[in-house]
Amino acid sequence: MLRMNEPVRTEELRVSDVERRVVQDRLHRAVGAGQLDLHEFDERVQAVWAARTRGELDHVTRDLPEPPAAPPPPRRAPRHRVFSDTGGGTAMRVLTTVWASIVAVNVVVWLLVSLGNGGPVYPWFIWLAPSGAVLAVLYGTGIGRPR
């Protein structure tokens, strides 16, 4: 029985449901770490919810060391980056820019040669069309495009 003029010791303080849940979560981690079996866990959880003071709660977990830290998540193997979606389709943008630059240079050279000859010459730049078609098919099928 408590006397009104004596201070209350920490282990005699009443506990709340929030404190009980914290101890129950600690017991869950102990089961996950293999420190308790299910029968012990059940007994201790019943004791947690029957506890009235902090001393009774401390008694439930005093023999349990902190569980070991969780192992880091496994690393995923790196993906091949040429046609992956990393960077939002950076590889496809680079390939398309290079192709368009080559076509532009060829068209400008063709125009200059045609003007220098006084009439149009064979449009050799059309031989770049198949590589442009390959880029279009890759883009159309979603390869190298952001998902």
* 3-class DSSP string for the chain: CCCCCCCCCHHHCECCHHHHHHHHHHHHHHHHCCCCCHHHHHHHHHHHHHCCEHHHHHHHHCCCCCCCCCCCCCCCCCCCCCCCCCCCCHHHHHHHHHHHHHHHHHHHHHHHHHHHHCCCCCCHHHHHHHHHHHHHHHHHCCCCCCC
What is the chain's mean pLDDT, rounded? 84
Q: Which helix (H) or strand (E) holds 107?
A: helix 90-117
Regions of the chain short of the pLDDT cut 70: 1-3, 77-88, 144-147
| Ranges of each domain in the chain | 10-61, 90-140
Q: Which residues contact 39 (CB under 8 A, 6 or more apart)?
A: none
pLDDT in tens, 30-64: 898 888 999 999 999 999 999 999 999 999 989 98
CA 71 to chain centre: 16
pTM for this predicted structure: 0.45
